[in-house]
Amino acid sequence: MHRRIGILGIACLSLLGGCSEASLPPPPESKKQETALAQSFDPAAAGTIRGRIVWDGDAPAPEETLVRAIAYHPTFYKNPARFVTPHVPTVHPEHRGVGNAVVYLRGIDPRRSKAWDHANVRVEFHERQLLVQQGKQYASLGFVRRGSAVEIVNRDTEYHNLHARGAAFFALPLIEPNRVHERALPQTGIVDLSCGAGYYWLHAHLFVAEHPYYTRTDADGNFALEQVPAGKYEVVCWLPSWHVTRKEVDPETGIIARLAWAQPQEQVRPLQVQVGRTSEVTYRWTRAMFANVGK
């Protein structure tokens, strides 16, 4: 074990010396500019979309797991961690509304969109959690304007390495606590965030978009998209899956190093937005919609 730790230490120093954030040139696509918004936006020619997300039937219950060892931290057993199953839907026990579900529009021309009105995003490792701060909210997801940058910081004294996959692909070692890094996200789509330092249960998402018509539901499952230009759109409701499809283990210790998750699920509704009117849409989810995904 001591030999392995020494080898890992040398490898880490080599990586830091030869592939540090400062020594790597920015990828060419990071030079893309933010999308021009609201060039022809007319608030008098807009409507509102409101709705609710509901869970039918029995809802999955989160399970608590005690982690006594991780692959890259030999003394982790001295201060083990607990976590509950990530991404289990938050279902109100009485109203059955689904909280923290994502709802967004497809098919909107950014030039007709309102101005971007989401707060800046900061990704934080804090108390062995991977959190997305947007304004006053801390959650497991956030909305980022294409071409803008997110802040990334490690608040723990323990080492973390932020891995991004999907619409962005990078690994960012976070060695110094409280040092704020920035990373531009020039490609639209969903960015999967995880920890590459053995904290295999940490997982979050960023939605990189060209328009601001993205929102999340409240604790009762309600949502609203306001000042939507009149027209025909698709309204998308998105939920991540809590099912793990694969566990990758460290070959020397046999300890879990990474989890692979089943694909998130979407429901899509076509909708006509009319000037000065409120359109209503409801989504209903069940456990069966996630049963065979990725299996």
SS3 of residue 228 by DSSP: strand
pLDDT value at position 22? 38
Which residues of the chain fall short of a pLDDT of 50? 1-31, 295
Strand partners, 222: 52
DSSP state of 271: E
**Which domains, ranges and CATH numbers included, belong to the chain?**
38-290 (2.60.40.420)
**How many Å from the N-terminal Cα to the C-terminal Cα in the chain?**
36
pLDDT value at position 5? 41
Question: From CA 123, how far away is CA 139, in angstroms rounded?
Answer: 10
**Count of other CB atoms within 10 angstroms of residue 211:** 24
DSSP state of 209: E
pLDDT value at position 33? 58
pLDDT value at position 25? 43
pLDDT value at position 14? 35
pLDDT value at position 105? 98
Question: From CA 89, how far away is CA 86, in angstroms rounded?
Answer: 9
pLDDT value at position 129? 96
pLDDT value at position 35? 67
Q: Are 76 and 204 in contact (CB under 8 A)?
A: no
Tokens 């071409």 — which residue? 147
Buried b (16+ CB within 10 A) or exposed e, 64-77: eeebebbbbbeebe
Both tokens of 226, joined, read 């306001």
